[in-house]
Amino acid sequence: MIRVILVDDHTLIREGLRRALDRADGLSVVGEASSVLEARAVAHHTTPDVAVVDVRLPDGNGIDLCRELRDEDPARGVVILTMYGDTDHLLKSRDAGASTFVSKDAPASEVITAIRHAAAHPDEFMAAGLAEALASRQRGEAVALTKREQEVLALLADGLGVAGISQELFISESTTKTHVAKIYAKLGASNRAQALMTAIRRGLVRG
């Protein structure tokens, strides 16, 4: 049985993850935390095999917490779960000792796969859905954007923010943020300016 703790300040996200993990064979949620301080205490008392950690926490940084949890127990796996799918967060997570890096919009099955990987191979970094984007950027290959991502990128280039893009495309701001994060990851950018510069250079939008 793989013992898991969930660290996220959003109760609904923790509840959703717990329900998904409770239905999976061989996984047991042994604790939850909504902050770095709580996570330290929960990890100490429950000795989990894997910690699923959000990047943004109210009292600190999930990537720094990842480093702490791995230093405390090198055999413990850590899954970084985040809305921020850019390569900067990916590399920082890897350097902090994370086992996997998964987007919050990933299906539950992908999170479960990440947890199993983290338990079996805590030292082997796997970025679900993002490692390929990083490798592609390093090789200078063409960036493959979905139709919706192309629409979002075009509106970013027009100067619209998340709220404006959401209204224009009739989608929620949360969905827009997810598309923007994926665009940043595929372009190897950490902000709008970098993304647009790369997009212009690759002919994805007009300069």
Least confident of 29-38, 127-136, 138-147: 127-136
| Selection from 65, 68, 88 nearest residue 9 by Cα | 65
Q: What is the pLDDT of residue 185?
A: 83
Q: Go through the chain and tell me how many residues it has.
A: 207
Please tell me the distance from the alpha carbon of residue 28 to that of residue 118, in angstroms, as a whole number. 14
What's the farthest any 2 CA atoms get from each other in the chain? 55
**57 pLDDT exceeds 90?**
yes
Beta bridge partner(s), residue 47: none
Give the number of other CB atoms < 10 A from CB of residue 138.
10
**For residue 5, what are its two tokens?**
């703790």
Q: What is the pLDDT of residue 107?
A: 81
**85 pLDDT exceeds 70?**
no
pLDDT > 70: what percent of the chain? Answer: 89
- How many contiguous H segments (helices) and E segments (strands) does the chain have? 10, 8
Please tell me the distance from the alpha carbon of residue 92 to that of residue 169, in angstroms, as a whole number. 32
* Owner of token pair 């910690």: 51
* Owner of token pair 């592609």: 136
- Structural domain boundaries in the chain: 2-133, 142-201
Strand order across the 126-127 sheet:
27-33, 2-7, 50-54, 77-82, 100-103, 126-127
- Which of helix, strand or coil describes residue 142? coil
Which CATH code fits 142-201?
1.10.10.10
- Which of helix, strand or coil describes residue 40? helix
Element (H, E) at 150: helix 147-157
**191 pLDDT exceeds 70?**
yes
What is the pLDDT of the chain when averaged over all its residues?
87
CATH class of residue range 2-133: alpha beta
Q: Which amino acid is at 190?
A: S
**For residue 36, what are its two tokens?**
């770095």
CB 38 within 8 A of CB 15: no
Which band of pLDDT confidence, cut at 50, 70 and 90, is reported for residue 135? low
Using one digit for the tens of pLDDT, what is the confidence trace for 90-126? Answer: 778 888 999 988 887 778 888 999 999 999 999 988 7
